Amino acid sequence: MYKPKDDVPSEFRTIRYPNTRKNEIEELSEYAIHPIAPISESQFRVFVTPGVYDEKGNKFREEYNTQNVLPLCINPVTLAGEDWATALMPSSSDALYIKILFDIIRSLPPDFTIDDIIDRIDGSKKLGDQQKKLAHLRIDILREFFGKNDLMMDLVIGGVNIIDLRDALYMPEDIFSIMALIISKLQYKKEFVDEPFVFVMNEAHLYFKKGISNVFVENIGNLIRRKRHGANWLLLDTHLPEDVDPNIIKLSDLKFIHRTDKTVDSKPLKLVFEGSINKLHQLKTGEAMVYANESSLNPSVPIKIKIRPRVSEHGGATKTAVRDGT
């Protein structure tokens, strides 16, 4: 899931092409590895919001150099009760509101519709006016994504699926609803139970901010626990770890920190990288400090690692005044 501050396409767009940087190819040879294109064009998808697809679909096709740009649609018929409850909850914690929503969803018949949900919400004596307005706002956001097609059917298994939310005029709280719904559908879809996938969240601090709903934290925890029994990974990418809810960071069993001149103020990271925090500015390009909850070395000792160049073309390499870094 991708929504950067700058209007640039995701760096994963170039995973369809082999690495062509001379100095990186030479370094790859040290690992007895050669540049390759990890996936083909048919294994690549870009999803944008329905409104952006209608108005700017050609822009995204040109930027990603592909015809595989699709609207991010959700078929409401495919939504289970857990999906609805998850999508309607707020990004911040409100235990009573969330409990009432779950009770409303559980009280509905198996073949309920979105209008049934609205009627129950409007008729609830337990929800206040502001809570009802919030629920209506969430439903209005979801309506924009409803269609006959469904993201779960359009995803390419074994490939790269980019959910590009650029040009979509949504607040982080609105995107949170869509993100929560997608994660919920991934979590409960039977066909995906044994399928390996990595769900990458760009700018994670915008959506996993402090005070996030405990119910959503539990959903993230379930997704992480599934990884232990299968091959499902959640990768959070942020340059502001101090803004990420500490409970989310604690759930991460692998933590990477790259070179930074900033002070790391995240308490969970300070705890596990104690003794290394002040050395982060000394890391070179391609180096990182990593902490693993379970390790063959020592689970409570962070180590410095060197990351080899990627075999595919780098779609987000730092611009330099020289070619190939020479």
SS3 170: coil
Strand partners, 244: 209
Mean pLDDT of the chain: 82
Residue 105: which residues within 8 A CB-CB, separation 6 or more? 81, 84, 85, 117
- Cα–Cα distances in angstroms (integers) from residue 169 to residues 50, 54, 119, 237, 294, in the given order: 12, 14, 28, 22, 41
pLDDT at 55: 94
Q: Where are the domains of the chain?
A: 11-72+149-252, 76-143, 253-310
pLDDT at 231: 65
More confident residue, 214 or 155: 155
**pLDDT above 50 (res 173):** yes
* pTM tops 0.85: no
Condensed to tens digits (0 to 9), the pLDDT of residues 1-46 reads 777 777 889 989 999 999 999 999 999 999 999 999 999 999 999 9
Residue 82: which residues within 8 A CB-CB, separation 6 or more? 184, 188
Residue 86: which residues within 8 A CB-CB, separation 6 or more? 180, 181, 183, 184, 215, 216, 219
pLDDT at 54: 93
24-28, 187-191, 207-211, 288-292: the lowest-pLDDT one? 187-191
Condensed to tens digits (0 to 9), the pLDDT of residues 48-92 reads 999 999 999 999 999 999 999 999 998 887 777 777 777 777 666
The average pLDDT across 121-135 equals 90
For 16-25, b/e burial (b = at least 16 CB within 10 A) is bbebebeebb
pLDDT at 326: 45
pLDDT at 229: 56
Band (pLDDT 50/70/90 cuts) for residue 148 is: confident
**pLDDT above 60 (res 322):** no
- Which DSSP helix (H) or strand (E) runs through 233? strand 232-236
Q: How many CA atoms lie within 13 A of 169 on its CB side?
A: 2
The average pLDDT across 198-203 equals 82
Band (pLDDT 50/70/90 cuts) for residue 207 is: confident
The average pLDDT across 215-243 equals 72
Strand partners, 160: 44
